[in-house]
Amino acid sequence: MRKSAILITGANGEMGHGLITALHKKNNVNIVALDLNPLDDSISVLVHEELIGNILDQGLIEQLNGEYEFDTIYHLAALLSTRAEFSPRAAHDVNVGGTLNLLNLAIEQGRSQGNPVKFFFPSSIAVYGFSGLDEKNDAGTIKEDSYRNPTTMYGCNKLYCEHLGNYYTNNYQRLGAEKHQRYIDFRSIRFPGIISSKTIPTGGTSDYIPEMLHAAAKGEVYNCFVREDTQIPFITMPDAICAITTLMDALEANISCTVYNIRSFAPTAEEFRQKVLEHFPNAEIGYSITEKRQQMVDSWPADTDDSMAKKDWNWKPVHDLDSGMKDYLVPDLQQMYHN
Ligand code: SER
């Protein structure tokens, strides 16, 4: 008998930490967690099985297919945007090839179970792309179907995988002998930058905001690698996790598209610096701009329009910038670094 479970890839990453904790609390599901590295102790105790391995390992994917019946797959594993620029080939292998492997696993599972497997894919504001600051400033707040001209490898990978998810859901084997059936139910969110109190991201480009905050809480000097006026949207990790679980729980009839924007607040780097100084008045935060990373952030929108998520599945963040700092980030950081 195959065991019923849900699968989370990239389980030891920032988002994996929050998602495993939330899913464990929410219902009594068997979580199979896959990551290149062992899970941290705090989440290792919450999962049914922990697998250390690579999503590019076909043998491992086949083993998972043989042992489990997954009704839901959360495919979080990816190389983030800065790392992807340093190693574009590896990024394509992992971000695209890895996603294809997981989509194929979902198809196999959906076919054998006779029910579509729910598939969650975290996309990103990096799928949008502007030719430069003038276009970014003119565009303002943007909707899902505009400016999808990514200039980063990560953005290209994410946009293509959104299309693959759509294809696998709606047109997979459209010319095959089998009567067309839906084997997967692909749902995706284009995340803005995410700020967590528990973890600091590695390899991203929106990292200047969480890095600034964590450095201030630790009492370390921080030099921000983008200009003061740089603006993209952000969200707290609890709101990001809540968005995932809400979207995945939404009735299929209410879902009108495969990919949704969400956002909460969109401070400039300097506005965020000022907010950090309100809570950590002795923080030493300066600027040391890395022009190449600046260009990447300048190609991303200053803000996104999340009205479709609001309409279809009642998306509403709990935290704005003030309450996110006061009720979540600052208390957790004080406890983490000063106890
Ligand atoms: N936060 C991601 C990164 O910076 C973009 O979605 O790579």
Return residue ranges of the chain for CATH 3.40.50.720: 3-191+236-261
Q: Comparing 24-28, 75-79, 105-109, 140-144, which segment has the lowest mean pLDDT? A: 24-28
Only one residue has tokens 């999340």, namely 306
* Buried residues in 129-151 as b, exposed as e (16+ CB within 10 A): bbeebeebeeeeebebeebeebb
Kindly state the greatest CA–CA separation across the chain: 68
Structure tokens at 299: 């190609």
* Structure confidence at residue 26 (pLDDT): 78
Strands 49-52 and 141-142: unpaired
Amino acid at 2: R
Would you place residue 202 in the very low, low, confident or very high pLDDT band (cuts 50, 70, 90)?
confident
pLDDT digits (tens, 9 = 90+) for 12-21: 999 999 999 9
CB-ligand 1 contact for 124 (6 Å cutoff): yes
CATH architecture of 3-191+236-261: 3-Layer(aba) Sandwich (3.40)
**Residues in the chain, overall count:** 339
- Write the CA distances from 48 to 10, 22, 26, integer angstroms: 16, 15, 15
> Separation of 124 CA from ligand 1 center, angstroms?
7
> Tokens 């489990």 map to which residue?
68
The SS3 assignment for 150 reads coil
Which atom of ligand 1 is nearest the CA belonging to 207?
4
User: Would you place residue 10 in the very low, low, confident or very high pLDDT band (cuts 50, 70, 90)?
Assistant: very high
Q: Indicate if ligand 1 lies below 6 Å from the C-beta of 272.
A: no
Q: pLDDT digit string (tens) for 207-252?
A: 999 999 999 999 999 999 999 999 999 999 999 999 999 999 999 9
Mapped onto helix, strand or coil, the DSSP state of residue 123 is strand
Taking the C-alpha atoms of residue 47 and residue 21, their distance in angstroms, rounded to an integer, is 9
Atom of ligand 1 nearest to the CA of 81: 7
Ligand 1 contact via 238 beta carbon (within 6 Å): no
Choose which residue among 79, 81, 87 to substitute to test ligand 1 binding: the one with the highest number of ligand atoms within 8 A of its C-beta: 81
Share of the chain above pLDDT 70, in %: 99
DSSP state of 84: H
The mean pLDDT value for 80-92 works out to: 97
Tell which atom from ligand 1 comes closest to the C-alpha of 84. Answer: 7
Architecture category of domain 194-234+264-303+319-337 in CATH: Alpha-Beta Complex (3.90)
Say yes or no: CB of residue 80 within 6 Å of ligand 1. Answer: yes
Q: pTM for the full model?
A: 0.96
- pLDDT range class, residue 191, cuts 50, 70, 90: very high
Instruction: Give a three-class secondary structure readout of 236-251.
Output: EHHHHHHHHHHHHHCC
Q: What is the mean pLDDT of the chain?
A: 96
Please state the atom number of ligand 1 nearest to the C-alpha of residue 191: 6
Pocket test for ligand 1, best of 80, 153, 235, 292 (most atoms within 8 A of CB): 80
Q: What is the pLDDT of residue 175?
A: 83
Distance CA 278, CA 103 (A): 46
Distance 7 CA to ligand 1 centre (A): 23
How many Cβ atoms from other residues are within 10 Å of residue 331's Cβ?
12
205 lines ligand 1 (CB under 6 A): yes
Give the CA distances from residue 288 to residues 2, 212, 225, in Å, rounded to whole numbers and listed in that order.
Answer: 54, 12, 5
179, pLDDT greater than 90: no
Instruction: Name the residue of 121, 205, 293 whose CB sits within 8 Å of the most ligand 1 atoms, as the mutation to test its pocket.
Output: 205
Output the residue whose Cα is nearest ligand 1's atom 3.
Answer: 204
Q: Whose CA is nearest to atom 2 of ligand 1?
A: 204
Give the residue, out of 15, 82, 85, 154, with the most ligand 1 atoms within 8 A of its beta carbon, to mutate for a pocket test: 154
Q: Chain-centre distance of CA 78, in angstroms?
A: 9
Question: Closest ligand 1 atom to the C-alpha of 300?
Answer: 5
The response to whether residue 77 sits with its C-beta less than 6 Å from ligand 1 reads no
Residue 98 C-alpha to ligand 1 middle, in angstroms? 18
* Ligand 1 atom with minimal separation from the 82 CA: 7
pLDDT digits (tens, 9 = 90+) for 246-302: 999 999 999 999 999 999 999 999 999 999 999 999 999 999 999 999 999 999 999
The answer to whether 82 touches 71, Cβ cutoff 8 Å, is no
Phi, psi of 193 (to 5 degrees): -60, 145
Where are the CATH 3.90.25 domain residues in the chain?
194-234+264-303+319-337
For ligand 1, atom 6, which residue shows the shortest CA distance?
A: 124
pLDDT at 27 over 80: no
Sheet containing 68-75: which strands, arranged edge to edge?
49-52, 31-35, 3-9, 68-75, 117-124, 184-191, 259-261
